[in-house]
A and B are shown apart, each in its own frame.
Chain A
Amino acid sequence: MPKKSLMLGNHAIARGLYEAGVTVVSSYPGTPSTEITFATAQYKDVMHAEWSPNEKVSCEVAVGASVAGARSFTGMKHVGLNVASDPLYTFSYSGVGGGLVIAIADDPGMHSSQNEQDSRRHAIASKCLMLEPADSRECLEFTKKAYDLSEEYDVPVLIRLSTRISHSQGIVELNERVERKLPDYKKDAAKFVMMPAFARGRRVVVDERERKLAEYAEVTPLNVIEDNNSDIGIICAGTTYQYSKEALGDKANYLKLGMVNPLPTELIKKFAEKVKTLYIAEEMDPIIEQHCKAIGLEVKGKEVFPRIGEYSQSIIRKAVSGESFESNDFCEPITVRPPVMCAGCSHRGLFYVLGKLGVMVNGDIGCYTLGATPPLSAMDTCICMGAGVSALHGFNIARRRSGEEPGKTPAIGIVGDSTFVHSGITGLINIVYNQSNSVVIIADNSITGMTGGQNTPANGRDIYGNSAPSIDLELMCKACGVNRVTVINPGDIEECERIIRQELEAGEASVIIARKPCSLLKTFEKKPPLQVTPEKCTGCKICLKICCPALSFTDKKATVNQTLCVGCGVCSKACKFGAFTGGKNS
């Protein structure tokens, strides 16, 4: 009997990669996809896993491995596919050598993302096959199936996940790995050199492939009808299958789509014939709904289900049967609990200073984005990875070219170390080349913090934790043409303030590297917690402005939580009365 295990959807995908005989895995982290690639590191005897600088690079690594004849994989969050779409859209024309599978984790409800985009749109636009598993068991099974389909139809296969599928544990059955023999390399320029003459040839092949895939969609065992003799029919996929089943059990008929691009037509019509009311339960965009309407069916979709956010069993229940469960409410309002920078976070001092200076902060994505919320409130923008550098250039140029005198609206860019390597470097080159004299801070905490602590090309460790060559950020900035590169300790708020002021006045492109390790790193050196001398504390609450979870007020005096405090000492620097003692900087 195969061994059973309780696994996260993401871990089940990793297991599927192992069992499918995959050789190369290259990804950039992104919640909720990160654990897939991290988990493949445990199979290092038979598979190569790596963190690459960004999703475009990792997708191209997987493409190269596929051309080499091996089965390859890359996984990313939904916005990662925007970055990787360039290679994807064209490699779709080439088709594969060894099977190529890309997992994309969507995040309806934006638990940890900056937008709620629906990755099925990318599958349609790139003309790739897309599967959507509904639990951990299917994550494993569909992954293996995806490789067979990729090779059979000569197409990259996308696997669409969502937060609830990626981060739910369910029971899976484990099987052995099936090794594949690497074929000898054979050059095939007409397939893999996508210049116009060859691409036109492949365009026709892709068209024929779409027709074959549409035929397959009608008969694939991945699309399943569950007939319960009901008047109500529900077309669903992934999460919405689970929510619908839980809400309605056998009181509805289901068409569960395991393959969500291309969509079947005849199968849907056949399913529709047997029911009176046909519902389309899909989170985010009305893609199945529009397909059904285009083939002439009357369906209830977004008119009864939400257009925004995550679904749940009660949302389905309420929309279909009008029922809802009773519940208790707490008798008073309860304050929200926003996430905050950890005690000892290296970003804290820096953002305290930025808030104090009141400069325009052109932000980016990472733990440091928490600097946007009160009481720090020191961030003006956050768009996508890399924009902290590039958009600053646009901001500064616009104000200058519109005639504003220099120094009237001082603006600064901020980017994390991982984000800088991901897509900040190109923006920095632009600052130098097109001369906006902008000042960029690299908040270098030696780790990809926000996604749970992955090593980076700039911290000297690879995915396995082994030592690896590291890029030197100072040299990198200098090589981009920045003459002013200063390294500061962001925990030293006086130094921070002095250097930021100085660089803003320099009138030249400048990079400030604010370097201090993340306090969650295993190698982080904790110091004894700080103590408050109550006689010295005037109760002014200036220390609360640093937004530290270890600080609070009791009886009008500051108190330090002795369990949480790691002794970084930023509070003692902020206090004008010397009320804090102990810690690193005192």
Chain B
Amino acid sequence: MKTTSIMFVGVGGQGTLLASRIVGHVLLEQGFDTKVSEVHGMSQRGGSVTTYVKYGDKVHSPIVDTGEADYIVGFEQMEAARWLPYLAKGGKMLINTQKLPPMPVITGATQYNQDIVGKIESAGVGVVSLDALELAEKAGSPRSVNVVMMGSLSRELGFEEKLWIEAIRACSPPVALECNLKAFEFGRNSITV
């Protein structure tokens, strides 16, 4: 089986690490060779963060390179646009429409790009966009945006729903579990907005 490559891109503090652990858990249960690569340290201080998830019969490189990602899960619009070159031809983007302006935008040195989702679509890329923040708040906490996005991704990857739920149970801190389970459900059942 060919290796599937996924990227999670977002802003430090958005919980891409937990998201990658959830998927990693599902993939291990499925018996795939799996690699999940994350960068800690400096980038967690509100910087741009990327996590790579790869699975198949045998995975070599832990990283995803330009033109290789089958899916890019963008936790934030500008980050989705930033990593577009990493998407493979025919790949798909799942985008949380939330906007988190970086410091140069906040200070007015530059502007936040307009209509990012539209521009990505007009580059001929398949996009699923959703307001994960709203769904996360509905689930009980804005911090569960990451799990909403996993709900959306679960539609794309297939695998039994119960495996995802087990993974969320295994990876969530007890206080966040109930909210995360709801967030997953909302993400999974959301339709393109």
Residues of A within 8 A of B (CB): 4-6, 31-32, 34-35, 111-112, 135, 163-164, 167-171, 242-243, 245-246, 312-314, 324-332, 334-342, 367, 370, 374-375, 450-452, 541, 544, 547, 549, 551-553, 563
Contact = CB atoms under 8 A, between A and B. Distances in A.
Contacts of B1: none
Contacts of A375: 103, 107
A331 B40 contact: no
A484 to B, nearest CB: 32
B140 interface: no
Given A168-B36, A330-B119, 20 more contacts: A6-B28, A31-B42, A111-B43, A112-B42, A135-B35, A164-B37, A170-B59, A312-B65, A314-B66, A314-B68, A330-B82, A330-B123, A331-B123, A335-B102, A336-B102, A337-B103, A339-B43, A374-B103, A541-B107, A553-B108
Given A168-B35, A170-B35, A332-B113, A325 B88 contact: yes
Interface of B: 11-13, 24-25, 27-28, 33-48, 59-63, 65-68, 78-79, 81-82, 84-89, 101-113, 119-120, 123-125, 142
Contacts of B39: 111-112, 163, 167
B63 A552 contact: no
A516 B84 CA distance: 40
A339 B48 CA distance: 7
Contact of B87 (A169, A324, A328, A336): A328
A330 B81 contact: yes
Given A111-B42, A112-B43, A341-B45, A325 B67 contact: yes
Interface-central residue, A4, A163, A541, A552, by most chain B CB under 10 Å: A552
Contact of A367 (B11, B12, B45, B108): B45
Nearest to A369: B42
Contacts of A242: 60-62
Contacts, number: 176
Tell me what chain A mostly uses at the interface: helix, strand, loop, or mixed.
loop
Nearest to B11: A337
22 contacts: A4-B28, A31-B41, A111-B43, A112-B41, A112-B43, A135-B62, A167-B37, A170-B59, A170-B62, A243-B60, A312-B61, A312-B63, A314-B67, A325-B67, A330-B123, A331-B123, A334-B82, A337-B78, A340-B47, A342-B13, A374-B107, A375-B103
Given A334-B82, A450-B41, A552 B101 contact: yes
Nearest to A136: B35
Nearest to B111: A335
A542 B112 CA distance: 21
B32 to A, nearest CB: 9
B50 to A, nearest CB: 11
Contacts of A32: 40-41
B40 A452 contact: yes
Task: Give the 5 A-B CB pairs with smallest separation, nearest first.
Answer: A325-B67, A112-B41, A339-B47, A31-B41, A168-B62
Nearest to B76: A337
A47 to B, nearest CB: 23
A256 to B, nearest CB: 11
Contacts of A331: 119, 123
A296 to B, nearest CB: 31
Contacts of A326: 67, 89
B47 to A, nearest CB: 4
B74 to A, nearest CB: 11
A168 B34 CA distance: 10
A328 B123 contact: yes
A507 to B, nearest CB: 37
A544 B109 CA distance: 12
Contacts of B107: 374-375, 541, 544
A372 to B, nearest CB: 12
Contacts of A339: 12, 42-47
Nearest to A31: B41
A327 B67 contact: yes
A6 B119 contact: no
B124 to A, nearest CB: 8
A243 B47 contact: no
Contacts of B125: 328
A171 B59 CA distance: 10
Contact of A330 (B59, B84, B106): B84
Contacts of A328: 84-85, 87, 123-125
Contacts of A544: 106-108
A31 B40 contact: yes
A338 B102 CA distance: 7
A112 B40 contact: yes
A429 B24 CA distance: 50
Contacts of B12: 339
A56 to B, nearest CB: 22
